[in-house]
Chains A and B, each alone.
Chain A
Amino acid sequence: MATRNLRLKVNHELFGGLLLIGIGAFAYYHGQQYAFGSLARMGSGFLPQVLSVVLCAIGCILAVTSQLKPSSTVQLQWGQLLIVATSMALFALLLRPAGLFTAAFVGVVISSWADREITWPGRIMLALVVAALASLIFIVGLGMNMPLWWG
């Protein structure tokens, strides 16, 4: 699968700094709707806005200093990230309408995609075992309130 090998090389300090600036700026912008108040009577927006500014400041320092020294890069495994996130989101989506067994089966089939060595028969076996195990532990054993199957 091509997705498994999706990688991205980035300068971690520059990218990290930019990420922080992004989060900080967004939090500041969104936080403006909350009252700022004064030191004696702080509004609900006081600390969020102060913290956002601090986060942006740290992000700027990181991004700027990253350009002053020899760059070092890291590899991001986008493929693995995508597969794991999709499998969990599908599990959440299927849990209510389709039940724990189905959701767990689908979840495992998708998430096992991220591994390079697993084969199709192995994947189906694993999915069946995990789905059965989860149903036994959580529904039969702990009596949790969720459907087992469709309907």
Chain B
Amino acid sequence: MDVIANLSIGLQAALTPTMLWYCFIGVLLGTFIGVLPGIGPLAAISLLLPITYYIGPDVAIVMLAGVYYGAQYGGSTAAILLRLPGTASSAVACIDGNPMARNGRAGVALFITTIASFAGAITGLIILIFFSPYIAKLGLKFGSAEYFALMLLGLVAACTFSDSPLKGGAMVVLGLLLSMIGTDVNTGVIRYTFGFSELSSGLSLVALAMGIFGVADIIRNINTIDTSGLSERFTMRSMLPSREDWRLSLPSMARGSAIGSFFGTLPGTGASISSFMAYATEKKIAKQPERFGNGAIEGVAAPEAANNASAQTAFVPTLTLGIPGDITMALILGALIIHGITPGPQLITTQPELFWGLIVSFIIGNILLVLFNIPMIGVWISLLKIPYRLLYPTILIFISVGVFSVSNSTFDIYTVVGIGVLGYLLTMLRFDPAPLLLGFILGPLMEEHFRRAMLLSRGNLETFIERPISLTILIITGLAVCFIIASSVRRRLQAYKTAKESHVT
């Protein structure tokens, strides 16, 4: 069978000491950083991105993937125990996880989180293993027009699910505009460098990511994060769920995994939308919906399974089409490109060891995660007690050194400061800066494909609707835009009505 042959290629590639070591390091560092209060998976990946420049591309991705799911898990721990979500996706874990912790069931919540994460991840991986070859085959038929249409769909989808689609769209456009800085690949013209030769190769991805997800978050979190409320002591016994807990949470995990796997494969939608959808579904089908928000175990199990399933299936479009499934994947894609690997439909056939090796090491990484977390939970919890006032000055130094080390230039540190200030302003003005990063990474690819499509059709825009695959994708994109407009108009009208009524009374 194909699958077995593929996996055995992967096993041979993944079971080398180097791969295992970096997988181990990635998961460990990811959990370590993720559990620190106020730091989410995106910040964790951005912090560790410079380190991966010193190692080979395959181990770099294995390590970054480990950091990603480690940090996601660690973030849930912080969310449940302290009500401090590092990301939007762990914000969902707070809703019921934190009440469970306050009812003295923190151990059970963490245990179920671990199991749900593992179940979700394995489901996602199975989808990844079976579907990737088909998507890659489809991808071989894609020309520039199709790629452009698909990336457009990804960007539109990223806006659809943000709080205000208009603001999400603004961030995408700003990201695209920032990606124009540097040398234009088609003409060699140097754009928007303002005389700084350091900018001629473009704005540094590491600097951008650290500015937005590191510095901006730190400025916002100072004086607001309080870690003093934590006084839990854990025994293995207090972590074990009861029979009733299992009965309630196992079906939720299955539903969550399915929802997460679906949203993960769509370009542009990732972990946060999956966990929100999974939570909403559980609440809708529950016999007693009023238990939700007061420590319902399904409210922890389903979203955790969903966000880990989507974390894995998000690799489908990333690796087979070169289009990131979500923001984290955009960072990983950026890292791959820096390492000289452009993921696309050819990746599976030209570098099967790399592709299947990655997948097998994802499986190993998830197993490691369970092994780390259940016995070591006490260690992670003691990390949570570190006061933020000691933590943030330290992180700022690590960010500065990390970004400096990429090209040994202090210019990048100033860039981080600038981006951090911009990122802080944007978040405070209630812009979600995550789509900005998606735009920044897709920008150069989109520009290249758009120009190539235009060049081939001699400037005829109809090429996008004459090609059937491109047309289909554009129709879906159009529907998404209509959906955005319709729902925001409806919301506006409702808000207007309520405002009017309250004005009258």
Bound form: Cα–Cα A117–B387 in Å: 11
Known A34-B191, A107-B400; contact A12-B429, beta-carbon cutoff 8 A: yes
Contact with B along A76-101 (1 / 0, CB 8 A): 11001100110111011101100010
User: What distance in Å separates the Cβ of B408 from its nearest Cβ neighbour in chain A?
Assistant: 6
A74 touches B170 (CB 8 A): no
A51 touches B393 (CB 8 A): no
B223 touches A116 (CB 8 A): yes
Closest to A144 in B: B405
Known A16-B430, A39-B459; contact A91-B400, beta-carbon cutoff 8 A: yes
Q: CB of B482 within 8 A of chain A?
A: no
Q: CB of B349 within 8 A of chain A?
A: no
B223 touches A40 (CB 8 A): no
A51 touches B166 (CB 8 A): no
Bound form: Cα–Cα A104–B405 in Å: 15
Task: Give which listed residue, A88, A95, A118, A145, contacts B215 with CB less than 8 A.
Answer: A88
Residues of B within 8 A of A144 (CB): 401, 405
A62 touches B166 (CB 8 A): yes
Residues of B within 8 A of A58 (CB): 166, 169-170, 173
A84 touches B215 (CB 8 A): yes
Residues of A within 8 A of B405 (CB): 138, 144
How many inter-chain residue pairs (CB < 8 Å) link A and B?
181
Q: CB of A19 within 8 A of chain B?
A: yes
A38 touches B459 (CB 8 A): yes
B421 touches A88 (CB 8 A): no
Known A51-B180, A88-B413, A92-B400; contact A114-B459, beta-carbon cutoff 8 A: no
Closest to A8 in B: B428
User: What distance in Å separates the Cβ of A53 from its nearest Cβ neighbour in chain B?
Assistant: 10
380-435 of chain B: CB within 8 A of chain A: 388-390, 392-394, 396-401, 404-405, 408, 410, 413-414, 416-417, 420-421, 424-426, 428-431
Contact with A along B141-178 (1 / 0, CB 8 A): 00000000000000000000000001101100110110
Q: CB of A126 within 8 A of chain B?
A: yes
Known A55-B173, A89-B414, A100-B401; contact A16-B429, beta-carbon cutoff 8 A: yes
B410 touches A85 (CB 8 A): no
Chain B residues touching A, majority SS: helix
301-328 of chain B: CB within 8 A of chain A: none
Q: State which size class the interface on A falls in.
A: 35 or more
A16 touches B431 (CB 8 A): yes
Q: CB of B245 within 8 A of chain A?
A: no
Bound form: Cα–Cα A10–B430 in Å: 12
Closest to A42 in B: B451
User: What distance in Å separates the Cβ of B473 from its nearest Cβ neighbour in chain A?
Assistant: 20
Bound form: Cα–Cα A93–B411 in Å: 10
Most buried by A among B189, B390, B447, B450: B390
Residues of A within 8 A of B451 (CB): 42
Q: CB of B455 within 8 A of chain A?
A: yes
Bound form: Cα–Cα A80–B425 in Å: 12
Residues of B within 8 A of A40 (CB): 454-455, 457-460
Q: CB of A27 within 8 A of chain B?
A: yes
Bound form: Cα–Cα A111–B426 in Å: 21
Q: CB of B461 within 8 A of chain A?
A: yes
B392 touches A69 (CB 8 A): no
Closest to A96 in B: B410
213-233 of chain B: CB within 8 A of chain A: 215, 218-220, 222-223
Residues of A within 8 A of B388 (CB): 115
Residues of A within 8 A of B396 (CB): 84, 87-88, 91, 107-108, 111
Q: CB of B103 within 8 A of chain A?
A: no
A130 touches B397 (CB 8 A): yes
13-58 of chain A: CB within 8 A of chain B: 13, 15-16, 19-20, 23, 27, 30-31, 34-35, 38-45, 47-48, 51-52, 54-55, 58
Closest to B221 in A: A80
Residues of B within 8 A of A112 (CB): 389, 393
Known A27-B192, A69-B499, A138-B405; contact A41-B455, beta-carbon cutoff 8 A: yes
Sampled A-B contacts (6; CB under 8 Å):
A39-B461, A45-B191, A47-B450, A52-B177, A55-B174, A107-B397
Known: A30-B192, A92-B414. 12 other contacts (CB 8 A): A19-B426, A35-B189, A44-B189, A48-B192, A51-B180, A62-B170, A69-B496, A74-B428, A108-B394, A108-B396, A112-B393, A114-B392
- B interface, CB within 8 angstroms of A: 166-167, 169-170, 173-174, 176-177, 180, 184, 186-187, 189, 191-192, 215, 218-220, 222-223, 388-390, 392-394, 396-401, 404-405, 408, 410, 413-414, 416-417, 420-421, 424-426, 428-431, 447, 450-451, 454-455, 457-461, 495-496, 499
Which 5 pairs from chain A and chain B are nearest by CB? A40-B459, A39-B459, A92-B413, A16-B429, A44-B189
